[in-house]
Amino acid sequence: MISLQKIAKTFQTKDGDVTAVDHVDLTVDEGEIFGIIGYSGAGKSTLIRLLNMLETPSSGDITVAGKNMTTLTKKELRKARQEIGMIFQHFNLLWSRTVEENIAFPLEIKGVSKGEKKKRVQELITLVGLEGRGGSYPAQLSGGQKQRVGIARALATNPKVLLCDEATSALDPKTTDSILDLLVDINKKLSLTIILITHEMHVIRKICHRVAVMENGQIVEEGPVLDVFRSPKEDMTKEFVKQVTEPEETEEAIAHLFKDDGIGHVLQLTFVGSDAKRSLITDVVRRFDISISILQGKISQTRDGSYGSLFVNVTGEKTVIEEAITYIKEQKVDVEVIH
Task: Report long-range pairs for 96-102 (Cβ below 8 Å, ≥24 apart).
Answer: 96/137, 97/137, 98/134, 98/135, 98/136, 98/137, 99/125, 99/130, 99/133, 99/134, 99/135, 99/136, 99/137, 99/138, 99/141, 99/149, 100/125, 100/134, 100/135, 102/138, 102/149, 102/153
Task: Give CA–CA dist 136/146, Å, rounded.
Answer: 10
Residue in 5, 32, 41, 247 binding ligand ADP, rule: CB under 6 A: 41
Residue in 3, 5, 18, 218 binding ligand ADP, rule: CB under 6 A: 18
Residue 199 in 3-state DSSP? Answer: coil
DSSP 256-303: HHTTTSSS-EEEEEEEEEES--TTHHHHHHHHSSEEEEEEEEEEEEET
Choose the stretch contacting ligand ADP; rule: CB under 6 A; options: 38-46, 68-76, 99-107, 278-286: 38-46
Q: Is residue 46 involved in binding ligand ADP (CB under 6 A)?
A: yes
Q: Which is nearer to ligand ADP, 18 or 281 (CB)?
A: 18
Number of residues that bind ligand ADP (CB under 6 A): 12
Q: Which is nearer to ligand ADP, 11 or 282 (CB)?
A: 11
Q: Is residue 38 involved in binding ligand ADP (CB under 6 A)?
A: yes
Task: Give CA–CA dist 204/210, Å, rounded.
Answer: 8
Q: Is residue 81 involved in binding ligand ADP (CB under 6 A)?
A: no
Residue in 6, 25, 40, 185 binding ligand ADP, rule: CB under 6 A: 40
Q: Is residue 43 involved in binding ligand ADP (CB under 6 A)?
A: yes
Residue in 7, 20, 33, 128 binding ligand ADP, rule: CB under 6 A: 20
The distance of closest approach from Cβ of residue 193 to ligand ADP in the complex, given in angstroms and rounded to an integer, is 20
The distance of closest approach from Cβ of residue 194 to ligand ADP in the complex, given in angstroms and rounded to an integer, is 17
Q: Is residue 231 involved in binding ligand ADP (CB under 6 A)?
A: no
Residues in contact with ligand ADP by the rule CB under 6 A? 11, 13, 18, 20, 38, 40-46
